[in-house]
Amino acid sequence: MKIKYDSEVDAAYISFKEGPAQVSTIRLTEDIAVDIGPGEEVLGIEILDASQHLDLSKKKPTIKLENLSSA
């Protein structure tokens, strides 16, 4: 899993799988979209206005991992 945050556009993307895949995108709201791959597998989640939705600091966001380790 990889989480990317772009402070210039205030967008976050959580990818659950690496590599190219053909995806269908389902918009849950105007700011949140889910990318679905083959076999209806969730490949990623895009969050616009991420600082608002995820309560992030645009300057230095922090993430707390539970039962996970960072690479």
Q: Is residue 11 part of a domain?
A: yes
**Taking Cα atoms as reference points, which of 1, 4, 39, 5 lies closest to residue 22?**
39
User: For the chain, what is the domain count?
Assistant: 1
Residues 6+ apart with CB under 8 A from 25: 33, 34, 35, 36
Q: Is residue 29 part of a domain?
A: yes
pTM, two decimals, is: 0.82
What are the tens digits of pLDDT across the range 16-69? 988 777 999 999 999 999 999 999 999 999 999 998 998 877 666 677 777 777
Domain that holds residue 21: 2-53
Residue 49: per-residue pLDDT: 95
Give me the phi and psi of 11, to 5 degrees please.
Answer: -130, 145
Type of residue at 24? S
